[in-house]
């Protein structure tokens, strides 16, 4: 993933790298982590194919997990981007 494609201003990259220091962001990230873990357990313990409802389908749930992981990695990717400058 090329971070600069999604966060285009250097000031915003700096803010994203510091996001986990903000209490409000910590609360949101924890909620995202909990949801990701909940979906991971569901996929591992009760895998289900349901083409008519992707919210219950193992492939759809895997996509949700991937999206949540992407969000969770933004602060670290921002830090890595800054370190490479």
For the cut 80, the answer to whether the pLDDT of residue 1 exceeds it is no
In sequence order, which residues have a C-beta less than 8 Å from that of residue 8 and are 6 or more positions away? none
Query: In Å, how far are 33, 34, 51 from 7, measured between CA atoms?
Result: 22, 25, 34
Q: Read off the tokens for 55.
A: 């919210």
Give yes or no for a contact between 41 and 64, defined as CB atoms under 8 angstroms apart. no
- pTM for this one? 0.86
Domain interval for residue 32? 3-83
Q: How many domains does the chain have?
A: 1
- Mean residue pLDDT of the chain comes to 94
Chain segment 5-45, per-residue pLDDT in tens? 999 999 999 999 999 999 999 999 999 999 999 999 999 99
């Amino acid at each position: 993933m090329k971070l600069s494609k999604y966060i285009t201003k250097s000031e915003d990259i700096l803010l994203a790298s510091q996001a986990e220091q903000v209490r409000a962001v910590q609360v949101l990230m924890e909620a995202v982590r909990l949801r990701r873990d909940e979906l991971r357990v569901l996929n591992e313990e009760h895998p289900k194919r349901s083409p008519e409802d992707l919210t219950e389908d193992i492939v759809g749930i895997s996509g949700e997990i991937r999206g949540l992981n992407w969000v969770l990695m933004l602060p670290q990717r921002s830090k890595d981007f800054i370190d490479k400058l």
